[in-house]
Each structure stands twice: as structure tokens, then as C-alpha cells.
Structure 1
Amino acid sequence: MILTVTPNPSLDRTYEVPSLDRGEVVRATGERMDPGGKGVNVSRAVAAAGVRTVAVLPLGGAPGALVAQLLDEQGIEVAPVPVTGQTRSNIAVAEPDGTLTKINAPGPELAEREQESLLATVGERSAGADWIACCGSLPRGLEPSWYAELVARAHAAGARIALDTSGPALLAALAERPDVVKPNAEELAEAVGRPLATVGDAVKAAEELRELGARAVLASLGADGQLLVDDAGAHFASAPVDAVRSNVGAGDSSLAGFLIAGGTGPAALASAVAHGAAAVQLPGSVMPSPSDLVPDAVTVTADVPLDRVLTEPAA
């Protein structure tokens, strides 16, 4: 069972449009409404793979009730933490060339009692969990140290933690030694305070995060592939993608694939890449099912192409 924690969930609406022209009336050619938030997406991908998952998340107002309903319809067990504020609603606009424009609302501010209730619920529901995936931004009211407290409590209870966040929240949590952190290239560059131009730059940055406490680093490098740096060294994996339809939730699908496959080693890295490659070829934030995966197309190597220039260098 994989338990996910999403401190700032959302109700996501995705519109597919021929083009996005500012100041004009744009008619959508397709639309979707999905429960959102990074941890929620991980649960959705885990459930799509037929693995049990429990989603812990604060929910409030009509949007929160709809998020719970949509998750229930997807066979995901929800452990809601009632909050006074309304769950945020986000909008994504997808163009045919893969360009995605997102408008993310800030979300409600959590009171101190709501913050503690969220931590307590994680503790109550984590029994029997193979992994706890803590994902996404922190809502207003939560200090950057909140994830660090969650990692410390989870480790004290004997659980393994996967952390997917960024900025001060990521740096604060590293001291508690999360079992794996999953930054993208931009988040990795932000964490080490310098730009990344090559795969080798990303390897060095990942090693620095390990020096700060992360036991393993699973880094998404966009179209170039993914990198895993752990006690066994560095491995690089990639897979061809025919056409990018939407990258919403692709990183979350990758983390789900990694954890489903055990959360360690090259085989888990290959699963992460297969899930991510499948996700970007699906509309909106649709999570891939096993039939969408092409595992034989994934290439994994310990001969990391250090000099390869990143398609999208991280500033």
C-alpha cells in the first residue's frame, strides 16, 4: 500500500484549445475535470496500476467535496482532514503543440489545529504502508519545516518516505534524511543555487542533495530522461515519446512508477520513466494504466552521459 500526503490539493480543470490568444474568445475542443495536487496524482497513478493507495489530504467546501467524490469514483481510499477554507481550483490550458498554460490558485490557509490534524491522520493511516509519498507545495499557514516534521515522525514509526517538493520546504526536510527526493531540473537547480546545463551538472547537484541528507535522488530532466543517484552510484534512463499532449502530472506518474516497482535501483528507475513517458502522451492529467506503458522502450544505463547538454537547461 502506498500512502500519499497532499497538503494543498486542488480541483483541476483542463481545457484543450487550438491556440491560446490573449484578449480573444477561445473555444475549447476538449475539457476534463480531475482531482489534483501532486500526491493526489501519485495516488491516481498507483490506483491505475492496480495497487492499493490511501490519499490523506485537507478538504474544504464544495470543491473539496468534489475532489473526494472524484477520487472515490477512481477507487482511491480517501482520508480527508476537514478544513474551514475551500479547496483551491486550478485551470490548465493545453495547446496542440504540447504548450501548457497553468493558473494555480493559492489554496486555503490551514489553522494550527488543522495542521496538527493532518499530521495525526498521516500517523493513523500509515500502518502497513510500504511508502509514504509527501508531495507538492505547502498551503498558507504551514511553515517550511512542516515536511521535516512529517518525515521525522514517519521515520520514527518505521515508514519509508518519498518527498516531492521544492524550495525551503525541500531544504528543511533534507536534514531528516528522506529515503528519496524527486526534484525536476528547475527544482534541483534552485536547491543548489546554480544553473544546470548538462546531465553531469544534474548528477553533481543530486550528489549535493545526498550530502545534505537525501538517501536517494530521482531527478526528472524533462525530455532528456531521468536520473537516479543513490548509494549504488548514478543511473540514467530515457524513453522515446511520439508526441507530448500534456505534461500535467507526468512527474507524479513517474514517482508512482518508481514506488510501485519498489522505490530503489535501476528497475524502479525504468518503471518511473515508462510511467512518465506514457503520461505525457495522455490528455489533461490522465494517469496511465498498464496498457499505456511501453517498458521495452526504456533504456537504463550506469554509463551516464555526463556531457549531454540538457534540452531545457535549468536556470
Structure 2
Amino acid sequence: MILTVTPNPSLDRTYEVPALERGEVNRADGDRMDPGGKGVNVSRAVAAAGQRTVAVLPLGGAPGALVAQLLGEQGIEVAPVEVEGATRSNIAIAEPDGTLTKINAAGPELTSTEAESLLATVRSASLGASWIACCGSLPRGLAPSWYADLVARAHAAGARIALDTSGPALTAALRERPDVVKPNAEELSEAVGRPLGTVGDAVKAAEELRTLGARAVLASLGADGQLLVDDSGAYFASAPVETVRSNVGAGDASLAGFLIAGGSGPEALASAVAHGAAAVQLPGSVMPTPGDLDLSAVLVTADVPLDRVLTEPAS
């Protein structure tokens, strides 16, 4: 079982439009509504793969009730923490060329009692979990050290932690030695305080995060592929993508693929890339099923192309 923790979940609505025209009436060709939040998406991807997952998240108001209902319909067990504020609602506008415009609400402010209840629920729900995936931004009311506290408590209970967050929350949690952290290129650049222009720059940044406490770094480099740096060395993987339809949740699908495949080594990296490549070719935040994956198209190598210039350099 993979348990996910999403401190700031959302109800996400995605509209597909021929082209976004500011100041005009835009008519959607399609729309869908999904439970959102990075940890929620990881749970959705795990469930789509036919594996058991439990989602721990604070929920409040009508949007929160709808998030729980939608998750249940997808076969995901929900361990909710009731909060006074309403769960946030987000909007994404997807264009045919892959351009995505997102409007994310701030979300409710959690009280100290609600924050402690969230930690307690993680502890009680994580019995038997192979991994705990802690994902996303922290809502108002939670200190940057909240993830660090969660990692420390989880490790004390013998659990493995995958962490996907950024900024001060990531920096604070590194001292507790999360088993794997999953930044994208921009988050990796922010964490080390310098721009990343090549794959080699990303490798050096990942190694720096390891010196700060991360046991392994799984870095998403956008269209260029993904990088894994751990005790055994560095690995680079990529896969061709014919058409990018929506990148919402693609990084979360990648993390799910990594954990589903054991959470370490080249095989898990290949699974991560296959899941991410499949996800970007699906509408909205639809998560890939095993039938959507093409592991044979993934190229994994320990001969990392250090001099390759990143398609989207991180600054």
C-alpha cells in the first residue's frame, strides 16, 4: 500500500479550448472535474495501476465532500481530516499546443489543532504502507517545518518517505533525510540557489541535495527526461512523446510510477518516465493505466549526457 499526504488538496476543473483569448468569451471543447493536489494525483495514479492506496488530506465544505466522493469513485481509500475552511477550487485551461494556464486558489488556513490531527491521521493510516508520499505546498497555518516533523515521525515508525515539495518546506525537511525527494528543474534550481543550464548542472544540484540530507533525488527535467541520483550513482532516462495534451499531474504520475516499481534504481526510474510520458498525452489530469504505458520506449543510461543543454533551462 502507498499512502499519500496532501496538506493542501483541491477540486480541479480543466477546460480544453481551441485558443485562449483574453478579454473574450472562450468556449470549451471539453471539460472535466478531478480531485486535485500532488499527493491526490499520486494516489490516483497508483489506483489506476491497480494497486492499493490511501489518501490522507484535510477536507472542508462542499468542495471537500466532492473531492472525497470523486476519490472513492476511483477506488481510493480516503482518510480525511475535517477542517473548518472550505477546500480550494482550481481552474486549468488547456490549449491544443500544450499550453496550460492555471488559476490556483490559496486554500483554507489550518489551525494548530487541525495540523496536529493531520499528523496523527498519517500515523494511524500508515500501518503497513510500503511508502508514504508527502506532496505539494503547505497551506496557510502550517509552518515550513511541518514536513520535517512528518518525516521524522514517519522514520521513527520505520516508514519510507518520498517528498515532493519546494522552497523552505523542502529545505527544512532535508535535515530529516527523506528517502527520496522529487524536484523539477525549477525547484532544484531554487533549492541550490543557482541556474541550471545543462543536465550536468542538474546532476551537481542533485548531489548537493544529497549532501544536505536527501538519500536519493528523482529530478524531472521536463521534455529532456528524468534524472536519478542515489548511493549507486546517477542515471538518466527519457522517452519520446508524440503529442503533449496536458501536463497537469504528469510529475505526480512519474512519482507514482517510481514508487510502484519499488522506489529505487534504474527500473524504478524507467517506470517513472513511462508514467510521465503517458500522462502528458492524456486530457486534464487523467492518470495513465498499465495499457497506456510503453516501457520499451524508455531509454535509461548510467552514461549521463552531462553536456546536454536543457530544453527549458531553470533560473
Q: What do residues 194-251 of structure 1 show as CA deviations (whole Å, max 9, x unaligned)?
A: 0000000000000000000000000000000000000000000000000000000000
Counterpart CA distance in 2 for 1:33 and 1:43 is 16
Matching residue of 1:139: 139
* 1:106 positional shift: 0.3
Match of 1:105 in 2: 105
In structure 2, distance between residues paired with 1:180 and 1:307: 25
Q: Give distance in 2, aligned partners of 1:133 and 1:31.
A: 28
**Whole-Å separation in 2 of the counterparts to 1:129 and 1:214:** 20
Query: What letter corresponds to residue 163 of structure 1 in structure 2?
Result: L
Aligned to 1:89: 89
Q: Which residue of 2 aligns with 1:233?
A: 233
Query: What is aligned with 2:244?
Result: 244
Unaligned residue ranges in structure 1 (runs of 5+): none
CA distance in 1, matches of 2:103, 2:186: 19
> What is the deviation of 1:139?
0.2
1:16 aligned partner = 16
Q: TM-score, normalised by structure 1?
A: 1.00
Distance 1:22 1:194 in 2: 34
Corresponding residue of 1:124:
124
Give 1:294-313 correspondences, 5 Å limit. Answer: 294-313=294-313
**Which residue is equivalent to 2:53?**
53
Compute the displacement of 1:265 (Å): 0.2
**CA-based RMSD:** 0.2
- Determine helix, strand or coil for the equivalent of 2:215: coil
Partner of 2:272: 272
Alpha-carbon separation, structure 2, partners of 1:65 and 1:208 = 41
Q: d(CA) in 2 for partners of 1:212 and 1:103?
A: 33
2:285 aligns to what SS in structure 1?
coil
Q: Output the CA distance in 2 between the equivalents of 1:299 and 1:232.
A: 18
The SS at the match of 2:79 is strand
Letter in 2 for 1:300: V
Q: Write the distance in 2 (CA, Å) between the matches of 1:158 and 1:126.
A: 10
- Does 1:44 pair with 2:31? no
Secondary structure of the corresponding residue to residue 56 of structure 2: strand
1:182 is aligned to: 182
Alignment correspondent of 1:34: 34
Counterpart-to-counterpart distance in 1, 2:264 and 2:237: 14
1:132-211 map, 5 Å: 132-211=132-211
How far 1:104 moved relative to its partner? 0.3
Deviations along 1:93-146, whole A, 9 cap, x unmatched? 000000000000000000000000000000001110000000000000000000
Percent of aligned positions with the same letter in both sequences? 87
Shift of 1:47: 0.3
Secondary structure, counterpart of 2:97 in structure 1:
coil
SS of corresponding position for 2:54: strand
Q: Partners in 1 of 2:229 and 2:285 — Cα distance? A: 27
Structure 2: distance between partners of 1:151 and 1:102: 30
2:289 aligned with 1:289: yes
Letter in 1 for 2:155: H
List alignment gaps of at least 5 residues for structure 2.
none
1:4 is the counterpart of 2:4:
yes
Q: Counterpart in 1 of 2:212?
A: 212
Superposed counterparts of 1:72-87, under 5 Å: 72-87=72-87
Q: Distance in 2 between matches of 1:62 and 1:21?
A: 31
Q: Which residue identity does 1:164 align to in structure 2?
A: D
Post-superposition offset of 1:43? 0.1
SS of the counterpart of 2:115?
Answer: helix
| 2:50 partner amino acid | G
Task: Give the Cα separation in 2 of the matches to 1:305 and 1:57.
Answer: 39
Q: Distance in 2 between matches of 1:128 and 1:135?
A: 19
Question: C-alpha separation between the residues in 2 aligned to 1:186 and 1:106?
Answer: 21
Report SS of the residue matched to 1:110. coil
The code of the aligned residue for 2:281 comes to Q
**Ranges of 4+ aligned residues in structure 1 off by more than 2 Å:** none
TM-score normalised by L of structure 2: 1.00
